[in-house]
Amino acid sequence: MSERDDASTYRSPVGTHDVLPPQSERWMQIVATFAERAARFGYGLVVTPIFEHVEVFQRVGASSDVVRKEMYELTDRGGRSLALRPEGTAPVVRAYVQHRPTPPWKTWYVAPNFRYERPQKGRYRQHWQLGAEVLGVDDPDVDVEVVALAHGFYTDLGLRRVRLIVNSMGAPQDRARYVAVLRDYLLSHADGLGDEFRARAEQHPLRLLDAKKEKWQDVLERAPQITEHLGDEEREHFEHVQRGLDALGIPYELDPRLVRGFDYYTSTTFEFASDALDGAQNAVGGGGRYDQLAEEMGGPVTPGIGFGIGIERVLIACEAEDLLLDPGPGLDAFVIDGVGDGTVAVLVAALRESGLRADRTYGGRSVKAQWKVADRSGAAYAVMLGRAEAERDAVGVKNLRTDEAQLEVPREQVAGWIRARREAPGLTEEHQ
Ligand code: HAM
């Protein structure tokens, strides 16, 4: 290292982190749980680039912090303005507009997102999201389906302290009318609440609604509510969604002050909050409708709805709820080499090719040392390649999880022998 390198140079950048085994096992299980559930609902995987033309993300809204302050923007060597993906919806809508798949287009994704935030527990500069987006249907049954997909995912993981909060932002004209009423109300109550309150009421009155500052709460709590400003169609849509959730037995709370962070939202919006997490970072997922986004990107009028779920926050919630990490199946066999003639590599390869999880040590370690590693490995069986057994084309097999004595098994049969016991754990030697 040169003298100019400081201690932080070769560490992951602030606000990012590595996912290493064994924690990565839970990470994989979370993704697999979601993938399996999305497939059951008829959603297909979509993979979009990590960076896009910056305009794609500017569509998510000029008033959002993400666009105003948090985007990682870069100019490539060809002079193009690009941005690292800060959220997952805009790229999927861009892909829809570009490829025009037949609607309804039901998609899911797992992808990293980048936001220049002030890092703290549950808030990172790179975070991963599992998400789903459905384009081309405005039927409120789809809103219910999308919410049910996310809700069932938390249930699958065993999370019990996740609450669903639902709101409606109305049609764009409802929203515009409401914003005007809200701005007037907030400004007429701004005396004594400070310059920041006044500035935010003028510029982004909706965003002010879920501000946490104590001395503003009185005024915010009494603010006019969006749900009182919905047109007939939107009110009916929202009621249909609520009836649908009731019919599926999905509990929810209505919160007219739920304001999501992007300007693209129309109609149904929702968030999943974990009571096991710290207040400010308790959203383990959120989403809603964005019925105009495709059109804003030059596509045909295409309603859309979806959500994003933060994997890191789900991991924190699992830990906070004491959900035990499923250790996975572990190794089936650990091979111990007492011969040293190269057979070990062939035997381990054969076990692995037969579908078993098998491992070994390297570097010609003593048999005693190898047994120690085998014991610690958690493997179900040790397979002993000993000199005496080798003369009979056999191996020794020892169950590492019981105190049964070591047995001798013909070498070409050992994979089948272990597989049979893996599939029928009660099988003992007499059943051979
Ligand atoms: P979002 O609410 O910004 O929505 O993010 C979705 C989820 O990602 C959050 O609920 C949270 O769990 C996680 N998350 C967000 N920011 C961070 C961060 N800095 N660190 C850790 N986790 C984070 C969206 O991104 C929308 N695209 C969701 C959507 C999809 N709406 C419609 N379709």
Q: How many CB atoms sit inside 10 A of residue 78's CB?
A: 6
Atom 23 (ligand 1): residue with closest C-alpha? 310
- Based on the domain organization, do 138 and 12 belong to the same domain? yes
Q: What CA–CA distance (Å, rounded) separates 177 from 192? A: 26
In a domain, 217, yes or no: no
Q: What's the structural domain count of the chain?
A: 2
- Based on the domain organization, do 315 and 337 belong to the same domain? no
Q: Which residue, 320, 355, 387, sits at the end of a domain?
A: 320
pLDDT tens, residue by residue, 217-275: 999 999 999 999 999 999 999 999 999 999 999 999 999 999 888 989 999 999 999 99
**Ligand 1 mutation target, pool 59, 118, 127, 265, most atoms within 8 A of CB:** 127
Atom 6 (ligand 1): residue with closest C-alpha? 308
- What's the pLDDT score for residue 290? 96
Residue type, 125: R
398 forms beta bridges with 382
- Based on the domain organization, do 316 and 393 belong to the same domain? no
- What's the pLDDT score for residue 68? 83
- What's the pLDDT score for residue 233? 95
pLDDT band of residue 431 (cuts 50, 70, 90) is very low
- What's the pLDDT score for residue 432? 46
Q: Is the peptide bond before 329 cis (omega within 30 degrees of 0)?
A: no
Residue type, 328: G
Predicted confidence (pLDDT) at residue 277 exceeds the cutoff of 70:
yes
In a domain, 202, yes or no: no
Q: How far is the CA of 238 from the centre of ligand 1 (A)?
A: 23
Percent of the chain at pLDDT above 90?
84
Predicted confidence (pLDDT) at residue 325 exceeds the cutoff of 80:
no
In a domain, 200, yes or no: no
- What's the pLDDT score for residue 211? 86
- Based on the domain organization, do 22 and 130 belong to the same domain? yes
The predicted model scores a pTM of 0.92
Domain holding 77: CATH number?
3.30.930.10
pLDDT band of residue 1 (cuts 50, 70, 90) is very low
- Based on the domain organization, do 50 and 27 belong to the same domain? yes
Q: Mean pLDDT across the stretch 34-56?
A: 98
Domain holding 403: CATH number?
3.40.50.800
pLDDT band of residue 4 (cuts 50, 70, 90) is low
- Based on the domain organization, do 139 and 277 belong to the same domain? yes
> How far is C-alpha 227 from the chain's CA centre?
30
In a domain, 271, yes or no: yes
Q: How far is the CA of 308 from the centre of ligand 1 (A)?
A: 5
- Based on the domain organization, do 239 and 270 belong to the same domain? yes
Atom 25 (ligand 1): residue with closest C-alpha? 87
Q: Which domain holds residue 338?
A: 333-431
Q: Which residue, 320, 345, 371, sits at the end of a domain?
A: 320
